[in-house]
Structure 1
Amino acid sequence: MYEYDVFISYQRSGRDISEWVKNHFHPRLAEVLDNNFYRDVRIFCDDQVRTGASWAGEVRTALLRTRVLVPVCSPKYFRDEWCLAEWHSMAQREELATRQDRTRPLIYPVIFCDSQSFPGWAVERRMRDLRQWNHPFEHFQTAPAYLDFNQEIKGIAEELEELIDRAPDWRDDWPVSTPVPEPPKRARMPRF
């Protein structure tokens, strides 16, 4: 069964993007979606992975049990193997769902920065441009531009509600790709 309505996918090593997702995008989207929806809305963001849990396993399970992927796009997003695996997993699901029914977009990309260097297969999709609100700093919430950001999030939430409602029935065999984890590095012998 589905556990999450939305999976936020972003390039985690970029501090600005991580801070923006955690400080602004995720909390506002969660609040607006939850206010507008007829039931509790659940959004997966990787900061929810429990301490000590297998990060790769938790992400894989969350992706399998999510209705819609929201990638936060930046040039490095499309070079990150985890981000690409998340995008392509949902693209494969879209393809399977299309064969059974009709076209159902399950990927809702938002632009964090520089869309000029995105790959062609990504820019074929309509993307929501959030570059003018990509301020990672907490004090952005007190800026006048935050009101416009909030309005933009409301528009995103309305479109996501429709995608969530139209998501295909859950299947336990949805394809989920994950990169092969690197083997642990050998411990160096201590010097005496």
Structure 2
Amino acid sequence: MSYRRANAWPRFVSETFLPMFRHWLGAELDASPRIFFDADVIETGDSWPHKLAEGIAGSKLLMCLWSREYFSSEWCLAELGHMLARREAVGNGRGAPPPLVVAAVIHDGDDLPTQLRDIQRYDIQQYANPWLAAGSPTAEELSNRVRVLAAHVANALRQTPEHDAGWSGLATEQFIELHRRRTLQRTVPSLGGDPA
């Protein structure tokens, strides 16, 4: 699950969207889905760039929740870039690439980067509200929309290629390098670096 941890979106994702998505995807697959959700698996003390890399490398597809903030996050773009590179490598120029990226728009779907226009996206922005009241008509309609989205995700999962162990190394290198660059920009003087 790829989303921008900005403003109240984490609340919407963890308390509203993810429980609905997990339920409906499980119904579609007739099995309990394994969803990498950072707040569920990255514990205090973990090297979160490594855990994030493991999560993305072990995922069959990337479920993105696109918002304006999503595209200003280096981490979200790294997750998306990794999966798009994998899609390109797996497709290898033979027809349409496999659907390794499934996107739902939760806010501002008008100004998407042009290179992503080939990805069919699913619009739920009318129902994406971090303060959505449980049991409300809007929450019920969101659940209906997520149910349809889960069917699309289940179909995409049936088309994904088998796992390649090389994906792990690529993801780890990419995420550790991004973390290293970001850390160098904010070096802590007491740890031997110059202040940023």
TM range (shorter): 0.7 to 0.9
1:34 alignment partner in structure 2: 26
1:109 paired residue among 67, 81, 103: 103
- The percent of aligned pairs where both chains have the same amino acid is 22
* Contact 1:9–1:86, Cα closer than 8 Å, also in 2: yes
The CA RMSD measured in Å over matched residues stands at 1.8
2:194 alignment partner in structure 1: none
- Larger mean CA deviation between 93-102 and 51-60 belongs to 93-102
Please list the CA deviations of residues 82-110 of structure 1 after superposition, one character each: whole Å capped at 9, or x if unmatched. Answer: 00000010001111111186520100111
Structure with the higher fraction of residues in strand conformation: 1
* Contact 2:105–2:124, Cα closer than 8 Å, also in 1: yes
The residue identity in structure 2 corresponding to 1:180 is H
* Contact 2:9–2:130, Cα closer than 8 Å, also in 1: yes
For residues 136 and 150 of structure 1, what CA distance do their matches in structure 2 show? 14
Residue 133 (structure 1) aligned with residue 132 (structure 2): no
1:186 paired residue among 174, 185, 189: 189
* Contact 1:29–1:157, Cα closer than 8 Å, also in 2: yes
Please list the CA deviations of residues 130-174 of structure 1 after superposition, one character each: whole Å capped at 9, or x if unmatched. Answer: 11111112x522211111111111101111111112110100112
For residues 60 and 186 of structure 1, what CA distance do their matches in structure 2 show? 28
For residues 70 and 21 of structure 1, what CA distance do their matches in structure 2 show? 12
* Contact 1:9–1:83, Cα closer than 8 Å, also in 2: yes
Number of aligned residue pairs: 179
1:45 alignment partner in structure 2: 37
SS at match of 2:107: coil
* Contact 1:17–1:112, Cα closer than 8 Å, also in 2: no
2:62 alignment partner in structure 1: 69
* Contact 2:65–2:105, Cα closer than 8 Å, also in 1: yes
For residues 135 and 43 of structure 1, what CA distance do their matches in structure 2 show? 22
1:88 paired residue among 78, 81, 86: 81
- Larger mean CA deviation between 112-121 and 128-137 belongs to 112-121
2:48 paired residue among 44, 48, 55: 55
* Contact 2:128–2:142, Cα closer than 8 Å, also in 1: no
For residues 30 and 125 of structure 2, what CA distance do their matches in structure 1 show? 30
1:156 alignment partner in structure 2: 149
For residues 69 and 138 of structure 2, what CA distance do their matches in structure 1 show? 26
TM superposition score normalised by structure 1 = 0.86
SS at match of 2:24: helix
Contiguous gaps of at least 5 residues in structure 2: 192-196
For residues 119 and 65 of structure 1, what CA distance do their matches in structure 2 show? 26
The residue identity in structure 2 corresponding to 1:122 is L
Structure with the higher fraction of residues in helix conformation: 2
SS at match of 1:57: helix
For residues 50 and 180 of structure 1, what CA distance do their matches in structure 2 show? 17
Query: Once the 2 structures are TM-superposed, how far is the Cα of residue 18 of structure 1 from its aligned partner?
Result: 1.1
